[in-house]
Amino acid sequence: MSDALRGSRIFLGVCGGIAAYKAAALTSALVQRGAIVDVVMTAEAERFITPLTFSSLTARPVYASLWDAPERIPHIRLVREADVALVAPATANVIAKLAAGIADDLLTTALLAARIPRIVAPAMNDAMYDDPATRANLATLGTRGYELVDPERGFLAERELGVGRLAAEDRILDALARALERRSSLHGKRVVITGGPTREPFDPARFLSNASTGATAIALAREAALRGAGVTLLLGPTLLDSPAGVDVVRFSTAAELRDAALARAAGADLVIASAAVSDWRPAQRSDSKLHKSGKALAVELSPNPDVLAELGERKGSTFLVGFAAETDRHEERAREKLARKHLDAIAVNDVRDERGFGTGENSLVLLWGAQGRRELGTAAKDALAVRLLDAIGQLMESGSSACS
């Protein structure tokens, strides 16, 4: 842990709760491990502990207002200079504001502008922590890439026992170290990710497509950007918002995806092809809408280009990861695809009954080489993106692949 923290820049937000005094001990621990800590306090936090405490520990100024050195624009500068942002303790009020996108002080404004890993360690009364509003707000932050360090059960300020006590110092330090290690794994790398469905029109109003929403690709792109990569996301038709800090290129058909992918994948360090590409397209497209005639309609289909196979043929030193959405003989079919398309690794999932599509949970298994296999489990797609990039990073560092 010490090596991960040494030389790192930590943005520490301290909110107004009795656990604020623990933030001083946490700051001391970070400084002793070689981290550079910039502390931002809310006005309420100053009622529990003074800025002098933190400035004495860090030998750096403490910020509490948007108007502290406004000429330096602190809400932007502080998060751009930091490697990771941590809020400890995080109150229900600040969690709610972050979930709603409210930026009415230095801490919330800075976190809204942050494109670095963000960690929240809540501390509050157990009734507040269990309230549906707080649970919903924490879930919202999770979908936006925040990592949560769950509070612990213990003696609370109200002289009650319950879940709401700030997580132990070693758990928070571990979360920071993991975030820093993840960030360094792709720092400075060029990453290209494809995602979402293709649409193959047979008249101006109808098309062949599938149930993909691009949620997995969006989660991967967001996480890769948080790890310091320069990310290009090739994204098919979707109603989901694009992630911040990512170059997004839109496509509709498989042919459009092919052209965009071949142009942008050249020289990339990592390409993750998670797009759900239609294998066929209508052989002919009507320029005007086809109307009902009471007769059967036959649509002839032609094969689409195999975008992933072409990427495999041209990949050079690029680490290429494919996806296999299967309904049976999942790993057998995925391993055949892994070898035939010259991939370094492949993530396989079961899509029976449209399982895995949409914004909910998914289940993934990562395969590489002749026998390499890792269960990534079942989880929300943001969590799976973290696990998948962790596994890919380890393969890239070790030189392991199907092609090595």
> Which residue spans of the chain are classified as CATH 3.40.50.1950?
2-185
Question: In this prediction, what percent of the chain has a pLDDT beyond 90?
Answer: 62
Mean pLDDT along residues 185-214: 91
CATH of 2-185, one of 3.50.50.60, 3.40.190.10, 3.40.50.620, 3.40.50.1950: 3.40.50.1950
Quote the mean pLDDT of the chain.
Answer: 89
d(CA 350, CA 365) in angstroms, rounded, equals 10
Nearest CA-CA partner of 118 in 10, 41, 233: 10
Span(s) in the chain for CATH 3.40.50.10300: 190-398
Q: Assign 294 a pLDDT band (cuts: 50, 70, 90).
A: confident
Which residues, in sequence order, are CB contacts of 111 under 8 Å at separation 6+? 13, 79, 85, 87, 98, 118
Q: Is the pLDDT of residue 274 over 80?
A: yes
> What are 116-132's pLDDT values in tens digits?
889 999 999 988 999 99
Distance from C-alpha of 106 to C-alpha of 110, rounded to nearest angstrom: 6
Q: What is d(CA 45, CA 90) in angstroms, rounded to the nearest whole number? A: 10
Does residue 245 surpass a pLDDT of 50? yes
Q: What's the pLDDT at 356?
A: 52
Rounded CA-CA distance 172/182 in Å is 15
Concatenating the DSSP letter of every residue in 351-402 gives -GGGTT-SSSEEEEEEEETTTEEEEEEEEEHHHHHHHHHHHHHHHHHHT-SS
Per-residue pLDDT reduced to its tens digit, 60-113: 999 998 887 766 778 888 998 999 999 999 999 999 999 999 999 999 999 999
pLDDT of residue 1 exceeding 50, the answer is no
Q: What pLDDT, in 10s, does the model give residues 6-48?
A: 999 999 999 999 999 999 999 999 999 999 999 999 999 999 9
Q: What is the CATH number of domain 190-398?
A: 3.40.50.10300
Q: How far apart are CA 192 and CA 266, in angstroms?
A: 10
Statement: residue 359 has pLDDT above 60: no
What's the confidence (pLDDT) of residue 217?
95
**Helix 169-185 vs helix 381-398: crossing angle, to nearest 10:** 60
Task: Give the model's pLDDT for residue 66.
Answer: 83
Catalytic positions, please? 210
Can you say whether the dihedral through the CA atoms of 378, 380, 385, 387 is positive or negative?
A: negative
Distance between CA 35 and CA 17 in Å, rounded?
A: 24
- What stretches of 205-247 show up as alpha helix (H) in DSSP? 215-226
Report how far residue 11's alpha carbon sits from residue 80's, in angstroms, rounded to the nearest whole number: 10
For residue 219, the SS3 value is helix
* Mean pLDDT score, 185-198: 92
pLDDT at 4: 80
Output 180 or 2, whichever has higher pLDDT. 180
Q: What pLDDT does residue 106 have? A: 95
Is 391 or 402 the better-scoring residue by pLDDT?
391
Backbone angles phi, psi at 190, to 5 degrees: -105, 120
Q: Give the pLDDT score at 84.
A: 93
